[in-house]
């Protein structure tokens, strides 16, 4: 079910003309790799998602360096 939901969300994002999907996941790497995500640089994620609450909070608290970033071209 999780795999279907992830693919559905990515398909809708692509239909909305998004070109890349980003996420942060410390523990679910194998799942996201199965969906097609690859490991990404957290600094690139921070630039792409600078306005999001999660990135702002992680940056302010110094936790961003401990996160694991993932991305996928759509």
- For the chain, give the percent of residues with pLDDT over 70: 100
pLDDT of residue 40: 97
User: What is the number of other CB atoms lying within 10 angstroms of the CB of residue 64?
Assistant: 19
For 4, the 3-state DSSP assignment is helix
For 24, the 3-state DSSP assignment is strand
pLDDT, one tens digit per residue, over 28-59 is 999 999 999 999 999 999 999 999 999 999 99
pLDDT, one tens digit per residue, over 2-15 is 999 999 999 999 99
Identify the domain containing residue 38 by its residue range: 2-73
Query: Could you give the number of structural domains in the chain?
Result: 1
């Amino acid at each position: 079910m999780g795999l279907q939901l992830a693919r559905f969300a990515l398909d809708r994002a692509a239909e909305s003309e998004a070109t890349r999907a980003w996420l942060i996941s410390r523990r679910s790497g194998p799942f996201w790799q199965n969906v097609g995500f690859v490991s990404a640089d957290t600094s690139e994620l921070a630039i792409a998602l600078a306005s999001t609450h999660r990135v702002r909070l992680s940056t302010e608290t110094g936790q961003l360096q401990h996160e694991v970033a993932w991305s996928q071209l759509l």
